[in-house]
Amino acid sequence: MKIMVIGSSGQLGADIVEALPRAGFQALPVTGRQELDITNTVAFASFLDQQRPDAVINTAAFHNVDLCEREFDSAYRVNTIAVRGLAVECQKRGILLFQIGTDYVMDGPVDSKPLPETAPVHPKSIYALTRFGGDCMTLTHAPAVGYVVRTCGLFGMAGCKLKGGLNFVDTMITVARAGKPMRVVADQIVAPTPTDELAQQLILMIQRRPGPGLYHAVSHGQCSWHEFACAALTLAGIDHPIAPVSSGEFAAPAHRPGYSVLDNAVLRHAGIDIMTDWRTGLQRYIGKKYPPKR
């Protein structure tokens, strides 16, 4: 099977492309906008006709959460309308579509339990609204082939392209090593997810085909960003204080959910939830990218 990976220069895309051949699949990487902009549906359709992939994994998004508040049109074009194009063209050709979504469409109270696919969405930012639009477009326009896979707090070896190649863990370690004062929010609860594991989960979904629809795929367990940052520094052997702060103290332009831990209920019921606890993924990541100095 030939699998097209849109956004292969990003952290999730890079790990998927690396893992596909090991599972016996042929990877068809599309690095990013320069090669094929997903907002150009005509170009996407002709790419499908030339390359004839069996499945498309779309990791591309306009996911600068704060910038989306100022650039609604761009956010809507990339996160909702472009995804409609992907869904329509994949459905027409019977090509599987895996649309990566986000936990930010949810927003439960801080003392919630992990939120399954049936939980109501509460998109409270332009980013969340436009990403929910992408979820709906996939489910509506690709009913026979479309999988929406919502995830959370990604960290992978390639680093987040949008954030200049640094993900949250990298940023924490960089700032701590520079000895700068650190403040991290303690009232947003998440399930940080390693991209190498998510790549394996996606590959298993392609192999097992549990059926089109909505899926949550995040690490097990939960933590605040503050707890996550402290765990990263401890594992990296860095002794540096991090002050816990509230979201209100940061006053970011876009709203962030207080609780957006997802429950992988559909994967679990299908017997194919292979995600592990976030601490396991973090330990593996730190061991690989920031091994202790001898």
Ligand X SMILES: NC(=O)c1ccc[n+]([C@@H]2O[C@H](COP(=O)([O-])OP(=O)(O)OC[C@H]3O[C@@H](n4cnc5c(N)ncnc54)[C@H](OP(=O)(O)O)[C@@H]3O)[C@@H](O)[C@H]2O)c1
Rounded to a whole number of angstroms, the minimum distance from the CB of residue 29 to ligand X is 9
Rounded to a whole number of angstroms, the minimum distance from the CB of residue 256 to ligand X is 12
> In 157-178, which positions are buried (b, 16+ CB within 10 angstroms) versus exposed (e)?
bbbbbbeeebbbbbbbbebbee
Q: What does DSSP say about strands 183-185 and 243-245: parallel, antiparallel, or unpaired? A: parallel
Rounded to a whole number of angstroms, the minimum distance from the CB of residue 155 to ligand X is 7
The nearer residue to ligand X, 125 or 151, going by C-beta atoms, is 151
The nearer residue to ligand X, 25 or 62, going by C-beta atoms, is 62
Rounded to a whole number of angstroms, the minimum distance from the CB of residue 215 to ligand X is 13
Q: Single out the catalytic residue among 76, 127, 215, 259.
A: 127
The nearer residue to ligand X, 141 or 216, going by C-beta atoms, is 216
The nearer residue to ligand X, 38 or 223, going by C-beta atoms, is 38
104: annotated active-site residue: no
Residues contributing to the site for ligand X (CB under 6 A):
6-7, 9-13, 31-34, 37-39, 59-61, 63, 78, 100, 102-103, 151-154, 160-162
- Structure token pair of residue 251: 């006053």
Angle between helical axes of 225-235 and 278-289 (0-180°, round to 10): 40
Radius of gyration of the CA atoms of the chain, in A: 18
Rounded to a whole number of angstroms, the minimum distance from the CB of residue 239 to ligand X is 26
The nearer residue to ligand X, 161 or 240, going by C-beta atoms, is 161
Catalytic residues: 127
